[in-house]
């Protein structure tokens, strides 16, 4: 739907459209055009100097970055003003979490940024653990598994960013390659957690269950294959003159602008500033892993693309190190020992990813009547969390992701609010788009890589 706003006092004298209405505003008459010959429209608008064209770009199919609406004010093909309209994917997740136990909250927040579910779960669980005062009690194997899953997730998320960005630019080979490699990561997710997305795998106190047999071998095969496949993306794009011409100098935002707007993640590191919470404010033992913070120095869409590709290489290094550590932690616990907090974590999911496994049911119901009662109360009522508040930020694929949790001493969060990087980074849309061409708006948005599930929550 396109809206044309003639200047004050001017009547829009273009041809009539039976399906397009008009209304009087302080600006003059506004015509909403649903389908006409563009030549006749532009001829009518060209008669005056004060006319402006307001175009609604979206909200459209979620196969892009979700249902994001952009309101663009145009002068010819140049964007004079750009605004974001959000809220079309609002789910009320944060409010819903106030009516669920602390563990059930994991199943809600994993659905926010649906391309980075493990990061949502991790920041939430770390916040709950800080409130409980059990940060030092988390088993080593659980922390290593968290790092493993987050870095695999970082790879899959960056692959989607590059694939959808390529699709929007018309580089369909980039799209097919990106989604092809992402399927390999989702296969690993399914092997380890039972699900391709919405895992609720990282929970307060540890993780839901141990690695299944053969998982480390599959991870090793994946790393070896990706070390061959990632250079394909680089060979196709890095020095491709058409690809570079489409991205270089587009969506430019320097360090000062990023800091003023609170941008984090690849847009910030593309300015040359090495800010990565895995290094600057380590969590989950990231300080013990060997990897480098990736930066670029162009502060444009091309720089953000290069940062993401380079970060995938670094994530492979971390995945390899985590797999080596897990090989030496065979049989180690993956959940805190405190039975007042820990949900039974072994064999907790059936082989089909649905419900509890028969072995797990046999284990719970065969212990004792007291054990069954305790399990029932823990699952239905949940554990109590001391009153207080906590905020634990982590480095998600899109930047700083943090959960601010408030407890009143009960079995449910009093308040849960997430600092989602997609929401904050989207502020840069107008700065990146205004003054550029309408075609470059797509490139700027793709370089931010917003996920609307995280924006609207």
Return averaged pLDDT per consecutive 10 residues of the chain, 457 residues in all.
44 47 54 53 53 75 70 83 83 89 89 90 92 89 92 92 83 86 91 87 88 89 91 84 85 88 90 90 90 89 90 92 89 83 62 63 70 78 89 92 92 91 89 85 86 85
Which one, of 261, 263, 130, 256, lies nearest residue 204 by Cα?
130
Domain with CATH 1.10.645.10 in the chain: 95-341+383-428+436-456
Neighbours of 423 (CB within 10 A): 21
Question: Cα 227 vs. chain centroid, distance in angstroms?
Answer: 24
What is the enclosing helix (H) or strand (E) of 169?
Answer: helix 140-169
Q: What is the predicted pLDDT for the residue at 26?
A: 58
pTM of the full predicted structure?
A: 0.83
Enter the CATH code of domain 95-341+383-428+436-456: 1.10.645.10
Q: Using the 8-state DSSP alphabet, how is residue 420 labeled?
A: -
Neighbours of 4 (CB within 10 A): 21
Give, in order, the Cα–Cα distances in Å from 228 to each of 105, 174, 186, 221, 321.
39, 16, 18, 11, 18
Give, in order, the Cα–Cα distances in Å from 121 to each of 111, 175, 248, 454.
9, 28, 35, 13
Based on C-alpha coordinates, what's the Rg of the chain? Answer: 25
Q: What is the predicted pLDDT for the residue at 144?
A: 93
Which one, of 122, 88, 159, lies nearest residue 401 by Cα?
122
Token pair listed for 444: 């700027």
Alpha-carbon distance of 71 to 78, in angstroms, equals 13
Q: Is 396 helix (H, G, I), strand (E, B) or coil?
A: strand
Q: What is the predicted pLDDT for the residue at 30?
A: 57
| DSSP β-bridge partners for residue 29 | 24
Question: Cα 154 vs. chain centroid, distance in angstroms?
Answer: 9
């Amino acid at each position: 739907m396109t809206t044309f706003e003639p200047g004050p006092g001017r009547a829009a004298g273009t041809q009539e459209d039976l399906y397009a209405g008009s209304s009087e505003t302080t600006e003059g008459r506004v015509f909403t055009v649903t389908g006409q010959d563009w030549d006749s429209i532009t001829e009518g608008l060209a008669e005056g100097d004060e006319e402006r064209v307001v175009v609604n770009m979206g909200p459209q199919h979620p196969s892009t970055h979700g249902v994001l609406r952009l309101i663009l004010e145009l002068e010819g093909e140049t964007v004079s003003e750009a605004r974001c309209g959000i809220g079309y994917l609002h789910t009320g997740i944060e409010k819903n979490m106030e009516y669920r136990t602390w563990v059930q909250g994991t199943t809600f927040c994993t659905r926010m940024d649906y391309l980075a579910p493990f990061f949502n779960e991790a920041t939430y669980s770390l916040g709950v653990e800080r409130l409980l005062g059990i940060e030092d009690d988390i088993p080593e194997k659980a922390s290593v598994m968290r790092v493993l899953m987050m870095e695999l997730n970082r790879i899959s998320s960056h692959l989607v960013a590059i694939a959808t960005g390529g699709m929007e630019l018309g580089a369909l080979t980039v799209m097919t390659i990106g989604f092809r490699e992402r399927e390999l990561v989702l296969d690993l997710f399914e092997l380890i957690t039972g699900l391709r997305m919405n895992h609720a795998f990282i929970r307060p106190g540890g993780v839901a269950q141990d690695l299944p047999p053969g998982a480390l071998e599959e991870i090793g095969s994946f790393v070896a294959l990706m070390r061959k496949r990632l250079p394909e993306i680089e060979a196709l794009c890095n020095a491709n003159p058409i690809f570079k011409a489409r991205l270089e100098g587009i969506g430019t935002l320097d360090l000062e602008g990023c800091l003023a707007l609170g941008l984090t993640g690849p847009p910030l590191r593309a300015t040359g500033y090495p800010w990565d919470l895995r290094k600057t404010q380590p969590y989950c033992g990231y300080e013990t892993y060997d990897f480098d913070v990736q930066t670029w120095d162009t502060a444009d869409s091309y720089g953000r693309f290069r940062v993401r590709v380079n970060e995938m290489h670094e994530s492979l290094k971390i995945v390899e190190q985590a797999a080596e550590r897990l090989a030496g932690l065979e049989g180690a616990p993956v959940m805190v020992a405190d039975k007042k907090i820990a949900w039974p974590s072994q064999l907790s999911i059936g082989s089909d990813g649905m419900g509890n496994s028969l072995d797990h049911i046999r284990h719970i119901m065969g212990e004792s009547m007291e054990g069954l009662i305790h399990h029932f109360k823990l699952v239905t009522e949940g554990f109590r969390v001391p009153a207080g508040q906590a905020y634990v930020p982590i480095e998600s694929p899109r930047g700083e992701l943090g959960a601010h949790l408030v407890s009143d001493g009960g079995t449910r969060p009093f308040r849960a609010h997430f600092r989602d990087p997609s929401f904050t980074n989207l502020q840069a849309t107008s700065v990146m788009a205004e003054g550029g061409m309408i075609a470059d708006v797509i490139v700027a948005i793709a370089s931010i890589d917003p996920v609307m599930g995280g924006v609207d929550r």
